[in-house]
Structure formats: structure tokens, C-alpha cells
Structure 1
Amino acid sequence: MTSPFWDRNRHADRRPALLLRGRIKAALRQWFAGQDFTEVECGALQVSPGNETHLHGFATLWQPEGGEPSARYLHTSPEFSAKKLLSAGETRIVDFARVYRNRESGALHAPEFTMVEWYRANAPYADVMADAAALCRTAQAAAGRDALTWRGHSSDAMAEPETLTVSDAFARHAGIDLPAMLDDRDALAAAMAAADLTVRADDNWSDLFSRVIVTRIEPQLGMGRLTMLSEYPIAEAALARPCPSDPRFAERFEMYACGVELANGFGELTDAAEQRRRFEADMAEKLRIHGHAYPLDEDFLAALEHMPQASGVALGFDRLAMLAIGARHIDEVLWTPFAP
């Protein structure tokens, strides 16, 4: 039986990695300060934890003095609040946010973790993609190591990142012509079956898309150097704006090292009506699959009408610290790991 994290001997073994985590965080904060970012602190209690189909929040109640209780949630990301600050006039902001996601645990997941989320107003998403790579370089340097590592794989953040569209990744790693079968569930299912990938009768298009990503593409990404996987189908980018060159795809990217997703970024959608439509569709799907849905944050949708064009990224700090340190489990870089 594993001793608790507060056991003195176990803590002594864990402490060097935890101190290195702190050094990495300080280096990232210094990088943001050098880029003239303002560090903000978004409140965790929100009307909605987020409106993506497969994200699960923690629910609680707000009890005003002498009033009726009402539902609140711990945020799964500071995104809604951060974008309200952009609407208020902030132009470069970053939050080292504690965030909360239910139904998530394992070597790469914890129900409570630190997300570094930042936004640049009036900047293309190529700029925040470059930010994400720079943060990996900063973390690797702060850790004093030659590469990010994870379970026998390495990725040198100092090397020029690989850039790859989702369509190119489907063709290269799964032999599937993704643009030819957007929104065509049966065509994608047939292509997957031909590639010896599992297809279930109740899978929808999104389920199939995700299975290709997880089983055939992600394990190939970020090997030797970082990979920037970009231009997701618009249906897989709920808060991103369409690509000007092809509106079937969105200005969304994910950054990988050693097959591990580290960051998710967007050219941000600022069309409030379109954002509402996407949220409502995702919550209908959530209700169908999971039997419940979350309310929309009407204040966020109102603020979105005043938000400038912007790009932003959410980066899993604990995962980055893991790979920079060479840890094998997220608990190794958490001061007080979650106890199920």
C-alpha cells in the first residue's frame, strides 16, 4: 500500500521534483512579464463550468444571506471570465488558474490542476502558437534538461516545431482523406474499417474522428520535436473562428510533445450568435450522451459582442512540468495529490 503524500519519507522523495516545478512556474511567469502580459486571477465559481460536450464540472450551491440557493460550478477553464476581461479592455492577460474537471484521473489527468491560459487581443493565432513553443523552451531550460521526456520518448523543445494540419495527419497516419468526408459519418466509418479501426454502431461522426486522433495520430506527434496540429474541422472547435481560407475548418491548434497533448489554442470566435448556436448544439449532444447539460453563461455571451479579435491558449502546466522534469505520473508534480 502506498503511503500518503504527507508521509515524511515519501515527501522527502517527492520534494526535489516539486521544487523544480516551482522553478519552472517562476520561469514561465518571468517570460510572460517580459512579453508585457498582465497576470489576472479569474474566479473559480461560475454560472457554467463550460459548454463542451465531454467536459464534466463540479457542482455546488451559492446560498445568499436570507435568499434562495442557486447552482454554481467550479470552472473547467478560466476562459469565460478571461474573455470578459478582454471585453473590458485588457489586451494581454495570463492566468495560472486552478481548474476542476470531474471524471478525470490517471497518469496525465487530475480532477484539480493548474492551467496556464493566456490571450492576445488583435493578434493572429500564429502568435499564440509561437508563445506555446516558447513556453516549452522556457520550461526545458528551467529544468536544466536536454529534452522533454515521457515514457521512453523525447522531444527537444529547442528544435523548430513540426507543423501539421489535421487533414494531413489523417492522411499520413491513418490513410484517411478527411476533407472528403466531413460530416459524412458513414464515409468516415467505412474509411476507418478499411484502416482496421474500431467502429461501433452508436458512434457519431465526432466519436469516430476522436478515435482516429487518439489511436492513430496522437501517439505519433511530438516525437523528437514539438508538433503543432492545426486546422481542426469546425465541428471540433466550439470556441474557434473559421479559417479564412476554408471555413469548413477552424483556427484551432493543439501542441504535442512525446505523444502528450500540452496545449489547446484558438483564433477566438467573437460572433455571439454563432457561439450560442454551437453551445446549444453541444449541450443537446451532452444531454443525449450523458443525461445532463449545463446552463449557458448569458453574461459571457453578452460580453462576447464587445470582445476584440483575439487569440488564446490553454496549457496544462502540470503536464509540461512532468515532461520537463521527466516524471511518469502527474501526482509526482502535485504538492497535494488528489486522494480518490
Structure 2
Amino acid sequence: MTASSRNEQTPWWHPDRHADRRPALMARSRIDAAVRLWLAERDFLIVDPPGLQRSPGNETHLHAFATEMVGKDGLGQAMYLHTSPEFTMKKLLAAGERRIASLQHVWRNRERSALHHPEFTMLEWYRVEEPYEAIIADTLALIRLAAETTGIDRFSFRGRECDPRAEAERISVAEAFMVHAGIDLLATLDAEGTADGAKLAEQMVRAGMAVPEDRAWSYLFTHILVDKVEPKLGNGRVTVLDRYPAVEAALARRVPGDRRVSERFEVYASGVELANGFGELTDATEQRTRFETEMAEKARIYGERYPLDEEFLAALAHMPEASGVALGFDRLVMLATGAQRIEAVLWAPVAE
């Protein structure tokens, strides 16, 4: 048995193993402090949304932890641990806050791997009446800040390296699909952004790809993104993958002049997805339609659906134009410390 395998079999709380883990945990604390100072210097107010919610979010492939809240009358009400503080934070924007941020735990079920953990820390922040570009610039600045805090020169994950200080690559989803997969993605969307799975399957055949049995457009899109596109992102420098198809951006507003695509971006470094941001949708009618579509697809695939947050939909009528982003704080710490598993930078992992 190697020293590494012995260490993996030792409980995380054992003094010897904790001593090995402690340098990364100390770095985590320094990054946490640096991020909070950076936000404070830019007049962001740190808020603390409750984790217990009536709706955990309404995206097809997000899975929540369910629980029951019992009232004084002894009757139970279904509740969920949130998958993001987004709904509450947007309610605060509707209430009048203008620059807010949250650095707190969120929960996602069915997720555990080198990059996933059922309970993890999310950094999420919003700017009212400021452009989408400002949030992208924030995200890149915080990635550089993490690297500067630990003094690391290059991020590295599973053999893929990235210079966090280099000028970021900016590429649209449509461009990335064409360059890395030979797929004309926009040709599979009509003028209103309605997606055609059959057309995308035809594109895959022409590009020499095997077509999965499930030919729903969203499934095929994700299959191509994961297999062909994501491995090419964030290599050498950070990549901003921009302008997602509107059908893949349930909470983002559409790009002016092209209803096929939306103001949604994701940021990758060393092949690791770090952040997901939007120019925020504030049209309650369109938001309800998108949520209902997402929940119908969730029911088709997984046999379940989550309730809509009616209070959130009502708040959208009062919410000003805004941009926001969620960043996986633990993943950023991983890259800034050279860790290869998320549990290496968690103070205490969830028991398996």
C-alpha cells in the first residue's frame, strides 16, 4: 500500500491527514479574506440568504435536497435546500439593493466527483443597471486575485495548464461549436430561438459523430459541449464562453437583435468550469414560461418537478435591469492551490 493510498483511507479529521491538508485550507482562508475585501472596496454589500426555500430552482438538471418544515399546528410543508441563493438575491434587488454579494453554502444532489460535492461554497454577486461586460470583468479579476493571493503562476488540472494572468479568450458558443465540433449550432434554431433536435442530430452525423438515442436538442447540445467543446476551453489561458442559446439560459435575457441567443457566459480555466453568469431576465411572463418548460423536461427525464417560486416571479416586476454571476469558490481554491480534488480544499467533507 502506498503512502498516498494510506492517506486516502485515513479519516479527514485524523491529525496526520489534517496536517497534510492544512496548507490548502489556510490558502482557502486567505482567498476568502481577499475576495471579501475586493468586494467591499467596490461597495458590494455581503448578504446572507436563507438556505431553506420553497423552490430550490427550476432548471432541468439541477437536483435538490428535500425536507419538511413543521409549523406550530403540526402540519408539514415541503421545503428544499437551495441550489443557489439567486432567487432571494434578486428579491433583494427588487427591494432596492444595488450591489450585493453572497459567499455561502449551497446544496446539489446527485453530484459527487473530483469537481463536485453535495454541499459546496458559491460566490454570487449582482450589479444593478450595469452591463453584462462588467460582471465578466469582475469574474476575471477575481480569478487573478486568487492566483495572486497564493502566488501560483499557472493553474493545472489533470494535465491542462492555464495562465490566470493572461488575457482571456472570448468565444461565443456558436463559434466554439463550429471550431471545436464542426457544428453549425445556429442553423438548428429558428428566429425565435426554438430548438430543433432533428436538425442538430443531422449536423452531428455530418460531423462524423455518433448520435445518442435521446435526440432531444438539449441532450444533444450537452453531449457535444461536454465531449467536444469543453476539453478545448481554458487551455493556456482562461476562456469566456459567451452567448448561450436562449433555450439553454433559463434565467438570462436575450441578446438585443438576436432572439436565438442570450446574455449568458461561462468561464473555464484548465478545463474546469468556474463561473456561470447572466444579463438577468426581468420579464416575469417569459420567466414563468421558461421555468414551466424546464420543469416539463425534468419530469420527462427524471419523473419529478419542483414548485415555482411565485414570490420570486412577483418580485421580477420590481427588479431593475441587472447582471449577475455565480462562481464555484471551492473550484477556484483548487486551482489556486494546485489541488486535484474538491475535498482537498473543504474544511470537512460530507460523509459518504
**TM-score over 0.5 for the alignment?**
yes
Tell me what 2:160 maps to: 153
1:171 lines up with 2:183 in the alignment: no
Alignment of 1:57-206 (within 5 A): 57-182=64-189, 183-206=195-218
Partner secondary structure for residue 339 of structure 2: coil
Tell me what 1:237 maps to: 249
Partner secondary structure for residue 118 of structure 1: strand
Tell me what 1:316 maps to: 328
C-alpha distance in structure 1 between counterparts of 2:196 and 2:57, whole Å: 27
Partner secondary structure for residue 240 of structure 2: strand
C-alpha distance in structure 2 between counterparts of 1:309 and 1:37, whole Å: 17
1:328 lines up with 2:340 in the alignment: yes
C-alpha distance in structure 2 between counterparts of 1:114 and 1:198, whole Å: 37
Corresponding letter in the other structure for 2:37: Q
Corresponding letter in the other structure for 2:133: A
Corresponding letter in the other structure for 1:205: W
C-alpha distance in structure 1 between counterparts of 2:210 and 2:36, whole Å: 43
C-alpha distance in structure 2 between counterparts of 1:10 and 1:198, whole Å: 45
Residue segments in structure 2 that go unaligned for 5+ positions in a row? 1-5, 190-194
Shift of 1:195: 2.5
1:19 lines up with 2:21 in the alignment: no
C-alpha distance in structure 2 between counterparts of 1:242 and 1:29, whole Å: 31
Shift of 1:327: 0.5
**Conserved in 1, the CA contact under 8 Å of 2:265 and 2:276?**
yes
**Conserved in 1, the CA contact under 8 Å of 2:267 and 2:274?**
yes
Shift of 1:202: 2.3
| TM-score, normalisation: structure 2 | 0.95
Shift of 1:247: 1.3
Shift of 1:196: 3.3
Alignment of 1:284-299 (within 5 A): 284-299=296-311
Tell me what 1:339 maps to: 351
Corresponding letter in the other structure for 2:10: S
Alignment of 1:34-73 (within 5 A): 34-73=41-80
C-alpha distance in structure 2 between counterparts of 1:149 and 1:94, whole Å: 28
C-alpha distance in structure 2 between counterparts of 1:277 and 1:22, whole Å: 41
Tell me what 2:192 maps to: none
Tell me what 1:209 maps to: 221
Partner secondary structure for residue 42 of structure 1: coil
Paired residues, number? 340
CA deviations on 1:45-71 (whole Å, 9 max, x unpaired) are 000000000000000011111241100
| TM-score, normalisation: structure 1 | 0.98
* Identical counterparts, % of pairs: 58
C-alpha distance in structure 1 between counterparts of 2:342 and 2:213, whole Å: 35
Shift of 1:306: 0.3
Residue segments in structure 1 that go unaligned for 5+ positions in a row? none
CA RMSD of aligned residues (A): 0.9
